[in-house]
Each structure stands twice: as C-alpha cells, then as structure tokens.
A = this chain, B = another copy of it.
C-alpha cells in the first residue's frame, strides 16, 4: 500500500491517526467550516491531545489536501469553490476511467458479486434515510473499481479524492435535504461495469460524473 489507510484497523490506531480521522470528520460534516484558520494550541486542547500528534495529523490532512498550510502563518481549511469542484470531478473522472481500463481483464463472477453486495448496501442505506451513511456507501461502491484494479497508486489517489467528495456531498445534501444521486444512475453503473463494452463503460462514467457534478455545482460559492 501507499499511505496507511486510516479507515481500517479500527482498534489499535495511533493517536495521530485517530486525530486525523476526527479532524477529517469535523471538516467533512461542516463543524469546522471551510476557510477556518486552525490554531494548534487551542485545537490540541479541544481534541485532548498534545501538539506533536496533532501536527502530524495536520501534516496528513495537508497531504490529502483538506488543509492548506502557509509556513509560520498557520493552516486553514480548504475552501469549497466551483473551480475546485470542477477540477475534482475532472480528476475523478480520469482516475475512475483509468481504474476501469485496468480492472477490465480482471473481472470475474466473484468481483461482480462483490459489486452487487456494495450496491445492495448502498440501496439499504438510501432506504434507511441515513444520508451520511448513504454517502459512505456510495463511496464504497465506487471504491470497488479501484480495489479490483489492484494498482496501489490508483487506490491511493482514490483515498485522497474521497474526503473531498464527502465534503461536497455533505454540502449538497444540506442544501437539498435529501441523499445522493438517483438509484437508477447506479443501476446503469453496475450494468456497464458488468457489461461487455469497455468504451461504453468509459463513456458512461464520463456522463455519470458530469451528472453528479451538475447536481452539486449549484450549491457551491
């Protein structure tokens, strides 16, 4: 693997990993607003950790891109802009197409079963009305293609994109007060993933991403 995947190994994580995860959640759900300037001492006290692990957590979120640091001036939370969203979707479209090209020869019955399982869990979350859970499940659904590709750099790139998507999704969901993209769109995503034509799948990904982009773009400053 590339970086340590924080979201796994739930039990015995180091303090800086837990701190990074907590910060990431606070940023994603808007508790810490975009553009907020973070002061280390105050934040360390609030989180109940010392500055050392906090600074390492900050360094991690910097590398993910959720925090922006200016030396000797401090760090601030990334602002959500239409330009940023555009670049995010351009990038995400590219890496997801890359993943599909890479995974295409590796497709199997088991991988399709895995995909179906993720899809079922997404539908389950949507029906439950828990929109935060639905967002996570949707990200897990798309993670299928990266894991199947087996390319550590792609998996890592996805891990970096995911928290950004979560931020924008939450923003969109708050504006609309309903959960993510339509069910039908994901049905067609699965059809193409299991279908026979790679070019058709790539085209659909492009359209699928553009649809997601258009849904969110109106709610960004």
Contact surface of A with B, Cβ cutoff 8 Å = 1-4, 12-14, 16-17, 52, 55-56, 59-60, 62-65, 68-69, 71-72, 84, 87-88, 90-91, 94-95, 97-98, 101-102, 150-154, 156-157, 161
Contact = CB atoms under 8 A, between A and B. Distances in A.
Given A1-B68, A90-B153, 4 more contacts: A13-B71, A56-B56, A91-B151, A91-B157
Nearest to A72: B14
A191 to B, nearest CB: 24
Contacts of A3: 62-63, 65
> Residue among A16, A98, A102 with the most chain B CB within 10 A?
A98
Contacts of A1: 68
Contacts of A68: 1
Residue in A12, A63, A69 with the greatest tally of chain B CB atoms within 10 Å: A63
Nearest to A101: B94
A4 B58 CA distance: 13
A153 B163 CA distance: 13
Nearest to A97: B94
A94 B96 CA distance: 10
Given A14-B71, A52-B52, A55-B56, A4 B62 contact: yes
Given A3-B65, A94-B98, A87 B52 contact: no
Nearest to A161: B153
Contacts of A16: 59
